[in-house]
Structure 1
């Protein structure tokens, strides 16, 4: 089982859209996939028409394997299941701080509850926290959507610095450009500069700024489900193949 985290320390970069479309792409490629929503907003579950679990609350996510597996729901898509979030997930940092061996708790919970899957995709909240560090240690790959703007470039550098300063494996970080607009000079300049600065940390994948991605909330489905020939759907397919090639 591979653990793939969709993470960014900056909000509004297309992280949840990435997690849903990446999980869907891997499932269509033949893998059995569990999409685990760690963000208490529960947007990933909303996109896939899955309601929050009422029983997986408090610290049971980390301690109760039976409740973890009972909370998993099937989706409308073959080979893709979902562990939906609920509002109690906002207290994960508190729960982890009270536990022994807190840094390894998430990985143990995922491997115990998600062991029947080929890949577990995590939709992570946008912050560097106790949960975030647990994600960094548990994941085989950390997929980071980067809007090609100055602030996103800065936060990507901050993430790499955090990994360096805390002895984490930078090779896990796999950035790609998200919500890119080819007509914007700034976007083109930023992508060229970042590719030169981080040649090993950026995948050769660009997901464009596209209305089809925004329409996910209307259709409540991955892009490839309602617009399979779109540029965005093809980009997410390439992202799935690129991530798997790295891990």
Structure 2
């Protein structure tokens, strides 16, 4: 079982859209996938029309195997299950900060479904916290969507610095460009500069700024389910292929 996190320390970069479409894309290839939503807003579950279990509180998530597994829901897509978030997840950091070996708690919780899935995909909240450190330690790969702008470039650099300061393996980080607009000169220049500066950390894949991605909220489904010919689907499929190769 491989654990993949979709993470960004900056909000509004397409993190949840990536999580949903990558989970669906991997499931299409025959992988057994669990999409685990760690963001209390619960957007991933919303896109899959899945209601959260209110009984899975922040403490039960890490300590109660039965509650954890009972909270998993099936989706409308073969090979794809969802563990939806609820508002209790906002207290993850408070709970983890009180526990010994907090950075290993997430891995222990996910071990309860080892053997049931080929890939667990974590949709993470956009901050650097105790939970984030646990994600960094647990994940085999960390997908980081980056809008090719100056501010997003800065936050990506901050993430790399955090990994260096904590002696975390930067090889886990797989950045890619998200919400790219081909008509914007700044996007092209920033993307080229970042690829040159971080050739091993930035994948040569760009997800376009697309209306079809915005329509996911209307259709409550991955893009491939309602617009299979969209350029966004091709980009997400390429991202799935690159991720599978790295894993």
TM over 0.5, yes or no? Answer: yes
1:112, distance to aligned residue in structure 2 (A): 1.4
Residue 180 of structure 1: aligned partner: 180
Residue 79 of structure 2: aligned partner: 79
1:162, distance to aligned residue in structure 2 (A): 0.3
Separation (CA, whole Å) in 1 of partners of 2:54 and 2:130: 24
Indicate yes or no: 2:22 matched with 1:22: yes
Task: Say whether the 8 Å CA contact 1:19–1:122 is kept in structure 2.
Answer: yes
Task: Say whether the 8 Å CA contact 1:181–1:208 is kept in structure 2.
Answer: yes
Separation (CA, whole Å) in 2 of partners of 1:230 and 1:191: 22
Task: Say whether the 8 Å CA contact 1:69–1:114 is kept in structure 2.
Answer: no
Name stretches of at least 5 consecutive residues in structure 2 with no aligned partner: none
1:244, distance to aligned residue in structure 2 (A): 1.1
Separation (CA, whole Å) in 2 of partners of 1:113 and 1:99: 22
1:166, distance to aligned residue in structure 2 (A): 0.3
Residue 9 of structure 1: aligned partner: 9
Indicate yes or no: 2:201 matched with 1:201: yes
1:114, distance to aligned residue in structure 2 (A): 4.7
Indicate yes or no: 2:124 matched with 1:117: no
| SS of alignment partner, residue 155 of structure 2 | helix
Separation (CA, whole Å) in 2 of partners of 1:151 and 1:100: 35
Name stretches of at least 5 consecutive residues in structure 1 with no aligned partner: none
1:111, distance to aligned residue in structure 2 (A): 1.5
Alignment of 1:40-55 (within 5 A): 40-55=40-55
Alignment of 1:27-106 (within 5 A): 27-106=27-106
Alignment of 1:122-161 (within 5 A): 122-161=122-161
Residue 228 of structure 2: aligned partner: 228
1:115, distance to aligned residue in structure 2 (A): 3.8
Separation (CA, whole Å) in 2 of partners of 1:145 and 1:156: 9
Residues 1:131 and 1:115: Cα distance change in structure 2 (over 3 Å): farther
Task: Say whether the 8 Å CA contact 1:65–1:113 is kept in structure 2.
Answer: no
| SS of alignment partner, residue 58 of structure 2 | coil
Separation (CA, whole Å) in 2 of partners of 1:228 and 1:214: 15
* CA distances 1:148-192 after superposition (whole Å, capped 9, x unpaired): 000000000000000001000000000000000010000000000
Residue 239 of structure 2: aligned partner: 239
1:52, distance to aligned residue in structure 2 (A): 1.1
Indicate yes or no: 2:179 matched with 1:192: no
Residues 1:41 and 1:114: Cα distance change in structure 2 (over 3 Å): farther
